[in-house]
């Protein structure tokens, strides 16, 4: 039986390799399927899709939680050469319509719960273009299409397999192309990098419409014949019971998932589980350390995106907070204006970068596109990624004197206060240290006269019990938080808006500013931070300042 040590060129071939494989391939709390059975279910869906295919791009939208049918349709699309478009259920109606129409979906796979929502949207699709997985008609059609697994003519490494929408936390979402060949390569590289093996039991708690679950978990599991265990949605309270039920050895996370897990009450037996390791992005060093202590598993904090990866390689000598070393000599930190490499960061005794303007720049791969295959029908976005023959990640970073690379946030997260650049990510990590803070998002709101002001939104268990005075004292003691990084506005919420992958939706927060139902506190910016709750008249007065200084367009 081939495994990841025998690299396969495309996902369809990797599926055929699992014919006759009786290792558990997919598990839920209700039922198990061997890999051989997973391939059989995939073949039935491939045959059904072929019968329903019409002219135009062979794109199949999937609007489901993490259910077995999502996995089976991934396999079916691979065998028949179709493209899966994962539809994010957290999108608003207008966004959902725009994304489905933009990606030219000719079929939609969904369930009764989500169909009720889709039927009220103008998608340009006839009623028979919706496949409802919990309907008797759907099950009957699958039974009519039971057939041996084969790969359609012309399907191979270049076949477009996925259209993955970016999270859209700081800007509009874009549909990233991912071919079967690229995903197969990612699966083999992840196996080598993170030690995936056939005995792994992979707990899939991140959404399957997102690249994290597909690239870091499902594809490596397919390559190795490991077991994928599904939970419909991420739940912090359900995480440990699920891990124990399945005997999970590996999981992935993204966004604020670790923060939500660590906010659950600690129990003396938290480490009594089979977890060996996890992989994810954007967790603070403090959260990583605390997770290791509580749950007894190693974490690999990585760097990557749906567009492309391979910029950073792991190194056992990597200092806390760093990602690793540049993967090759072409990876650099570049000043976007001068196109010159940035200087090495200089740190104070608290680990704060002293030469931010000189050290922080955009992470760039000077060897070009590498894994980036482009955005679907978005030439302007492609051109923004590939400039001067280089691949621009859109992410900020810096290098230390030893050559280790650090992540400094997304390009849209840069805040300029009184002529000085400040990283929103750095401030978020400080705020997350406070024991009451479950999640945090930091973003710029414009100063009425010029520049930016720092605004932060924090999620706490009970906003009514939030101790603003104690929080101010906490900020005063954080030696790696400069005065420019102390929030001028503080939104205190019981539930911050997040993407489907649990990233705080800062684009929405930035649009709302202080106009929200949550309590918003303000510090005047002089002396020690003292937060006072904004009244409606305070908000109106601030709006009037913007209008007076000609910045009404931002309101």
Alpha carbon of 54 to those of 49, 106, 107: distances in Å?
10, 7, 9
Q: Tell me what the mean pLDDT of segment 421-427 comes to.
A: 83
Examine the domain organization and report whether 398 and 440 are in the same domain: no
Check pLDDT > 70 for residue 170.
no
Examine the domain organization and report whether 429 and 344 are in the same domain: no
Query: How confident is the model at residue 552, as a pLDDT?
Result: 39
Examine the domain organization and report whether 90 and 152 are in the same domain: yes
Check pLDDT > 70 for residue 18.
yes
Examine the domain organization and report whether 436 and 334 are in the same domain: no
> Token digits for 277?
């390791």
Query: How confident is the model at residue 102, as a pLDDT?
Result: 96
Query: How confident is the model at residue 395, as a pLDDT?
Result: 86
Examine the domain organization and report whether 473 and 509 are in the same domain: yes
Contact at 8 Å (CB) between 422 and 484? yes
> Token digits for 544?
């009037």
> Token digits for 507?
């684009």
Q: Is residue 341 part of a domain?
A: yes
Q: Tell me what the mean pLDDT of segment 325-345 comes to.
A: 92
| Position with higher pLDDT, 439 vs 1 | 439
Q: Is residue 353 part of a domain?
A: yes
Gap between the Cα atoms of 37 and 133, Å rounded: 18
Examine the domain organization and report whether 397 and 501 are in the same domain: no
Q: Is residue 391 part of a domain?
A: yes
In this prediction, residue 128 has a pLDDT band, given cuts at 50, 70 and 90, of very high
* Residue from 474, 321, 344, 324 nearest 399 by CA: 344
Domain holding 440: CATH number? 3.30.300.30
Burial tier of 294 (Cβ tally within 10 Å: 0-12, 13-18, 19+): middle
Q: What is the residue range of 536's domain?
A: 418-554
Alpha carbon of 332 to those of 189, 316, 361, 364, 385: distances in Å?
21, 21, 9, 5, 15
Q: Is residue 463 part of a domain?
A: yes
Residues 242, 248, 249, 252, CA torsion sign? negative
Examine the domain organization and report whether 495 and 546 are in the same domain: yes
Boundary (domain end) residue, out of 364, 383, 410: 410
- DSSP string of 70-118, one letter each residue: HHHHHHHHHHHT-EEEE--TTS-HHHHHHHHHHTTEEEEEE-HHHHHHH
Q: What is the pTM of this model?
A: 0.84
In this prediction, residue 344 has a pLDDT band, given cuts at 50, 70 and 90, of very high
Report how many domains make up the chain: 3
Least trusted range by pLDDT, from 26-30, 321-325, 551-555 = 551-555
Query: How confident is the model at residue 551, as a pLDDT?
Result: 46
Q: Is residue 516 part of a domain?
A: yes
> What DSSP state is assigned to residue 430?
H
Gap between the Cα atoms of 337 and 340, Å rounded: 8
For residue 105, what are the β-bridge partners? 59
> What DSSP state is assigned to residue 456?
E
Examine the domain organization and report whether 399 and 422 are in the same domain: no
> Token digits for 68?
């077995």
- Length of the chain, in residues: 555
Model confidence pLDDT, tens digit, residues 89-113: 988 888 899 999 999 999 999 999 9
| Contacts with 366 (C-beta within 8 Å, 6 or more apart), sequence order | 330, 331, 332, 389, 390
Check pLDDT > 90 for residue 2.
no
pLDDT > 70 fraction of the chain, expressed in percent and rounded: 94
Query: How confident is the model at residue 555, as a pLDDT?
Result: 36
Phi-psi region of 485 (alpha: psi -120 to 50; beta: other; left: phi over 0): alpha
Check pLDDT > 50 for residue 554.
no
Q: Is residue 38 part of a domain?
A: yes
Helix, strand, or coil here: 376? coil
Examine the domain organization and report whether 406 and 422 are in the same domain: no
* DSSP β-ladder status, 361-365 and 331-334: antiparallel
Mean pLDDT computed over every residue of the chain: 90
Query: How confident is the model at residue 451, as a pLDDT?
Result: 67
Least trusted range by pLDDT, from 193-197, 304-308, 421-425 = 304-308
* DSSP β-ladder status, 452-459 and 227-230: unpaired
Examine the domain organization and report whether 161 and 15 are in the same domain: yes
Boundary (domain end) residue, out of 159, 179, 199: 179
Boundary (domain end) residue, out of 120, 145, 179: 179
Q: Tell me what the mean pLDDT of segment 196-206 comes to.
A: 97
Alpha carbon of 339 to those of 333, 336, 393, 404, 415: distances in Å?
10, 5, 14, 20, 21
Examine the domain organization and report whether 423 and 398 are in the same domain: no
Residue position matching structure tokens 């179709």:
82
Examine the domain organization and report whether 425 and 406 are in the same domain: no
Angle at 216 between CA 426 and CA 17, to 5 degrees: 170
- 3-class secondary structure per residue, 520-552: EEECCCCCCCCCEECCHHHHHHHHHHHHHCCCH
Q: Is residue 474 part of a domain?
A: yes
Q: Is residue 318 part of a domain?
A: no
| Position with higher pLDDT, 160 vs 385 | 160
Gap between the Cα atoms of 511 and 507, Å rounded: 6
């Amino acid at each position: 039986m081939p495994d990841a040590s025998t690299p396969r060129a495309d996902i369809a071939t990797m599926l055929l390799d699992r014919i006759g494989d009786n290792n558990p391939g997919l598990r839920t709390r209700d039922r198990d399927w061997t890999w051989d059975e997973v391939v059989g279910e995939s073949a039935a869906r491939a045959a059904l899709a072929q019968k329903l295919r019409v002219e135009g791009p062979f794109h199949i939208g999937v609007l489901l939680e993490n259910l077995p049918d999502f996995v089976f349709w991934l396999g079916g699309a691979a065998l028949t050469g179709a493209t899966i478009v994962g539809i994010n259920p957290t999108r608003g109606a207008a966004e959902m319509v725009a994304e489905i129409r933009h990606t030219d979906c000719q079929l939609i796979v969904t369930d009764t719960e989500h169909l009720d929502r889709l039927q009220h949207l103008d998608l340009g699709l006839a009623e028979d273009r919706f496949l409802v997985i919990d309907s008797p008609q759907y099950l009957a059609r699958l039974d009519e299409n039971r057939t041996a697994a084969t790969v359609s003519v012309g399907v191979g490494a270049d076949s477009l397999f996925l259209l993955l929408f970016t999270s859209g936390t700081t800007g509009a979402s874009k549909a990233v192309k991912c071919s079967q060949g690229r995903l197969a390569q990612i699966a083999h590289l992840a196996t080598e990098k993170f030690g995936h093996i056939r005995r792994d039991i992979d707990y899939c708690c991140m959404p399957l419409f997102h690249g994290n679950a597909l690239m870091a978990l499902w594809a490596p599991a397919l390559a190795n014949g490991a077991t994928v265990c599904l939970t419909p949605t991420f739940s912090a309270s359900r995480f440990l019971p699920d891990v124990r039920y399945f005997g999970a050895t590996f999981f992935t996370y993204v966004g604020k998932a670790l923060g939500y897990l660590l906010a659950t009450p600690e129990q003396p037996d938290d480490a009594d589980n089979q977890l060996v390791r996890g992989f994810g992005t954007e967790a603070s060093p403090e959260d990583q350390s605390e997770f290791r202590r509580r749950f007894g598993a190693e974490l690999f904090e990585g760097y990557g995106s749906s567009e492309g990866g391979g910029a950073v390689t792991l190194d056992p000598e990597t200092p806390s907070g760093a990602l690793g070393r540049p993967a090759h000599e072409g990876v650099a930190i570049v000043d976007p204006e001068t196109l010159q490499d940035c200087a090495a960061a200089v740190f104070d005794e608290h680990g704060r970068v002293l030469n931010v303007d000189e050290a922080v720049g955009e992470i760039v791969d000077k060897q070009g596109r590498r894994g980036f295959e482009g955005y679907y029908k978005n030439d302007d976005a492609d051109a923004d990624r590939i400039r001067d023959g280089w691949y621009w990640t859109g992410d900020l970073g810096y290098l230390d004197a030893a050559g280790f690379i650090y992540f400094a946030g997304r390009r849209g997260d840069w805040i300029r206060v009184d002529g000085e650049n400040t990283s929103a990510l750095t401030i978020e990590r400080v705020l997350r240290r406070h024991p009451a803070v479950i999640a945090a998002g930091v973003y710029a709101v414009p100063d009425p006269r010029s520049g930016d002001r720092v605004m932060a939104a924090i999620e706490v268990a009970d906003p009514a019990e939030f101790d603003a005075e104690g929080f101010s004292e906490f900020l005063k003691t954080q030696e790696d938080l400069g005065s420019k990084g102390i929030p001028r506005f503080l939104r205190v919420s019981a539930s911050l808006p997040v993407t489907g992958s649990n990233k705080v939706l800062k684009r929405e927060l930035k649009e709302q500013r202080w106009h929200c139902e949550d309590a918003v506190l303000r510090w005047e910016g002089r002396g020690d931070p003292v937060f006072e709750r904004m009244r409606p008249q305070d908000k109106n007065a601030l709006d009037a300042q913007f209008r007076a200084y000609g910045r009404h367009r931002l309101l």
